[in-house]
Amino acid sequence: MNYKHDRESVINKGMKLFWFNGYHNLGMDKICKETGMTKGAFYNSFKGKENFLLVVIEAYGNLIASHLQTHLSDIHIPPIDRLTNLYTNMLVAQPESKYRGCLVNNMMSEMGALNPVVAEVTSAQFERFVNIIEPTVSQAQQEGALDKSLNSKLMTEIIHTTFFGVLTRAKSTKTLHISIIKDLLNLIKNKSDGRKKN
């Protein structure tokens, strides 16, 4: 099969390769073998491994963005429950992926301090995820389920940054730590009813 004309397939294979191997442990020989491309065809299409990673991160970001939108769109479920379910489901899926974490988070951790281009692209994807989640956090605040003392954007960044930390920890311990996300959401729940009691 001529993979030169099946760019999506090559990118999907690249996604798995970077996700399972990281950047530094993935060589060109393995990329070409797994994608079916010659080195010449690969460089003609993607210019090099770093640029291929950037294309893969964008494609992965599109998948995650779609996943987030799908799981947060059911208006019949209270927003706080949508958030809890979203993060719980993403963590529960980790054993099936052999605790590979999130590709964006992985590349942030491995490459962010070493490569400003990768740092910028992964940060943009993180921001994209936050922007998709933030309206649900804002709804939860408006309904009184989450504390309003922080603006919704900052609260979302705290929640999602904590989630990335839990993913990183899960990779090394092979333990889900679901309670951390649930405890965080409980911590930032609106306590105003409790304050009124005297």
Q: What is the pLDDT of residue 41?
A: 94
User: What stretches of 112-151 show up as alpha helix (H) in DSSP?
Assistant: 116-142
Q: What is the pLDDT of residue 124?
A: 98
Rounded to whole angstroms, the Cα distance separating 104 from 99 reads 14
In this structure, the number of other CB atoms found within 10 A of the CB of residue 10 comes to: 24
Residue type, 7: R
Q: What is the pTM of this model?
A: 0.90
Residue 33, both tokens:
């073998």
Rounded to whole angstroms, the Cα distance separating 49 from 23 reads 9
Q: What is the pLDDT of residue 192?
A: 58
* CA end-to-end distance (rounded Å), the chain: 74
> From the first residue on, what is the mean pLDDT of each consecutive set of 10 residues in the chain (198 residues)?
70 96 97 94 95 98 97 96 95 92 96 96 98 98 94 97 93 88 89 44
Please name the residue that has the structure tokens 């988070």.
105
Domains of the chain: 57-193 (1.10.357.10)
